[in-house]
Amino acid sequence: MGTITLPDSSTVTVNFAATNANGSPGSLYGAQVSGGGFNFWNPSAPYISAQVENAPPDSDILQLSGGLNQIYTVTLSAAIKDPIMAILSLGQPGLTTTYDFDSPFTIVSQGVGYWGGGAAALKALPGDVLQGNEGHGTIQFLGTYSTFSWTVPTPESWHGFTFGIRTTQAIEPDPDPNTVPLPGTLALLGVGLLGAGAARRRTKR
């Protein structure tokens, strides 16, 4: 479980769950939590855009390996407008991996990340599917959400992610059009609060 603190000091509680097809608890490949471990979010360029002014600020990351017939679900205590997901190393140059979401999204930014990749390594496919061949970047879910889920059908060593919100217009679904918004910033979860076991894995390839 994690908590996002908004500019007005209110909080949104976030739960992440991995569930097997039979309903039993699933698992993660691992996690780097509470600011410990290696910072795979460097370089920061793939995660920065007009919508997101900063990359994930430290080493916190959740890691999946895929191909386990699991459903991954994020649940929010308050509906959030256009939540953001930062993704690291989805797929490999010779191995396509997908995140099959239950909600529409758009690719906000991408580029060369810690493990390489490029400007077109992430692709949005029909059916709310994100395809990666060493993809590093951010996506934004379109709409107001209190929960969303995805599956990862293809096995891979591991890929990582974390979540965030634009701190402006985050809770308010229909902001006042006469109000000039502040620059959108990315308020990221501390995944150390999600209850995942800490890991210190660096080797992927």
Q: Is the pLDDT of residue 175 over 80?
A: no
Q: Parse the chain into domains and list their residue ranges.
A: 2-173+183-194
Contact 76, 40 (CB under 8 A): no
Residue 47 has pLDDT above 90, yes or no: yes
pLDDT of amino acid 202: 41
Would you call 107 exposed, middle or buried from its count of C-beta atoms within 10 A (0-12, 13-18, 19+)?
middle
pLDDT above 90 coverage of the chain, percent: 51
**Taking residues 70-90, what's their average pLDDT?**
91
Using the structure block, give the residue that is written with the tokens 């769950």: 17
Look up the pTM and report it: 0.82
Q: Is the pLDDT assigned to residue 172 strictly greater than 60?
A: no
Q: Give residue-wise pLDDT tens across range 112-171.
A: 999 999 999 999 999 999 999 999 999 999 899 999 999 999 999 999 998 887 654 555
Cα 123 from Cα 144, distance rounded (Å): 23
Comparison of pLDDT for 64 and 194, the residue scoring more? 64
Mean pLDDT of the residues in the chain: 81
Is the CB of residue 140 less than 8 Å from the CB of residue 84?
A: yes
Taking 60 as the threshold, does the pLDDT of residue 40 lie above it? Answer: yes
**121 neighbors 133 (Cβ within 8 angstroms):** yes
Checking if the pLDDT of 174 tops 60, the result is no
Q: Which pLDDT does position 53 carry in this prediction?
A: 83
- Residue 180's pLDDT band, with cuts at 50, 70 and 90, is very low
Measured in degrees and rounded to the nearest 5, phi and psi for residue 60 equal -60, 130
> Which of 163, 167, 165, 134 has its CA nearest to residue 150?
163
127: helix, strand or coil: coil
* pLDDT at residue 100 is higher than 80: yes
Measured between alpha carbons, how far is 189 from 202 in angstroms, rounded to an integer?
21
Instruction: State the Cα–Cα distance between residues 87 and 81, nearest whole angstrom.
Output: 19
Identify the helix (H) or strand (E) that includes residue 61. Answer: strand 61-64
Residue 74, C-beta contacts closer than 8 angstroms, at least 6 positions apart = 14, 15, 16, 83, 147, 148, 149, 163
pLDDT of residue 34: 65
Residue 149 near residue 71 (C-beta atoms within 8 A): yes
